[in-house]
A and B are shown apart, each in its own frame.
Chain A
Amino acid sequence: MGISLALFNRLKSDESLMLAYQDGDTDAFELLYRRHKDGLFAFLFRSYPRIAVVEELAQDTWVAVINAVERYTPDARFRTWLYQIAHNRLVDHWRRADNQHTELTSAPEPVATDNSEIEDLQRAVVAALAQLPREQKDALLLHEQGFTLADIAQITDTGVETVKSRMRYARNHLREKLGDEI
């Protein structure tokens, strides 16, 4: 019975799981969390490659989701909503960092992999991204997460054409910096 229920939950959409959590089903929330936690954490890290900061931002994002559960209505995709919250937290953090004159160094914290060549390439990409205007970087990174232009427009609270433009500039910049490596 428990196995069947777990299997049934796995087949549920994000929105159904969120509604189940709204009814007090904490197992549904756990499943939802495990679906998205690593993707969200990676997105935040790529935007701001400092583990301590990313942990704080991820926690803030999920806490905001939990606190908003009773008001949640499945008007939009849960994942879009989740990244919208995360993006807002990220923007807030940048604003605070700007006010405190905190600057992100060009060398991001390394993420351990089995391949040192890949690590080097990843580090180079992150360094190139750090040079991009924040809006362009966001658009590119959200696209890397699998979001459509319309989703990105919703998450960043802008128009689809603006998103297209930002992405075009971002890609051109990366080609200039990284050449054929990407």
Chain B
Amino acid sequence: MKKLPLPSPRSPAQLDEEILAYAKQRAPSGKHYSRPAWIGGLAAVSVVTVAVLLVLPQQPDPVSPAMDLDVQLESTAERVVPEQFSSGNSATESARIGATATKLLRKEGSPMAARAGVAAMADEAASSAEVLAPPPQDLLQERLRELATLLESGDTKEAEAGYEALKNNCDSCKLPATLQEAIESFMVDN
């Protein structure tokens, strides 16, 4: 018997939509097959993060040869030492710490952890030296002008005390012995 000539109506589109919608609604949720939308965003953020990390300058290798670190610290100490000027001895102290750090690092067989700690100390010294760096020459002149004003107004003792403090705190300024000489010198230079 050959195949029967039978009608073959197709499933209506509306019925298809309803059944497929129901299938999606009732899809088992225990195991998620469909990729969540936030996965794409997470991937994009990860890629950007990696790209930024690659572009950013690399930190010094904590286990890099001590020689390289010595060069860095020597330059730090050189920046700190000259032309000390401050109201206290902080800049000098900073320079001393930097120099000590350099010496310590030059010692053969220093443990890496100690070297890293000393390096941090040297960095700290350099930064504090930058904060307490000597004022420019015009600040010195301004300070002398203030002392001269005091002297003219009759506050001789206060003016001389201020000048002594200035001399003590700035060895490299090479100030004359007396305030009078310093003012004369200042008057001549300006």
Please report A residues at the B interface, Cβ cutoff 8 Å: 20-26, 29-30, 33, 37-38, 40-42, 45-46, 49, 51, 54-55, 58-59, 62-63, 66-67, 69-70, 108, 110-111, 113, 118, 121-123, 125-126, 140-141, 144, 171, 174, 182
Contact B8 A111 (CB under 8 A): yes
Q: Mark B2-28, 1 if CB is under 8 A from A, else 0.
A: 111111111110011011101110111
* Bound-state Cα–Cα, A139 to B188, Å: 127
Please report B residues at the A interface, Cβ cutoff 8 Å: 1-12, 15-16, 18-20, 22-24, 26-34
* Bound-state Cα–Cα, A118 to B10, Å: 17
Most chain-B CB neighbours within 10 Å: which of A24, A25, A30, A51? A24
Query: Per a CB cutoff under 8 Å, which of A24, A25, A54, A110 touches B30?
Result: A24
CB distance from A143 to the nearest CB of B (A): 9
Closest to A40 in B: B11
10 shortest interchain CB distances as A-B pairs: A111-B7, A24-B33, A25-B33, A37-B11, A41-B11, A42-B8, A23-B31, A122-B7, A62-B19, A121-B5
| A182 / chain B contacts, CB cutoff of 8 Å | 1-2, 4-5
Closest to B20 in A: A30
Contact A55 B34 (CB under 8 A): no
Question: 7 other contacts beyond A33-B23, A122-B5, with CB at 8 A cut-off?
Answer: A24-B27, A26-B27, A29-B20, A30-B20, A37-B16, A58-B11, A121-B5
CB distance from A64 to the nearest CB of B (A): 11
* Bound-state Cα–Cα, A48 to B20, Å: 24
With contact pairs A33-B20, A55-B15 given, residues A24 and B29 touching in the complex (Cβ less than 8 Å): yes
* Bound-state Cα–Cα, A182 to B5, Å: 7
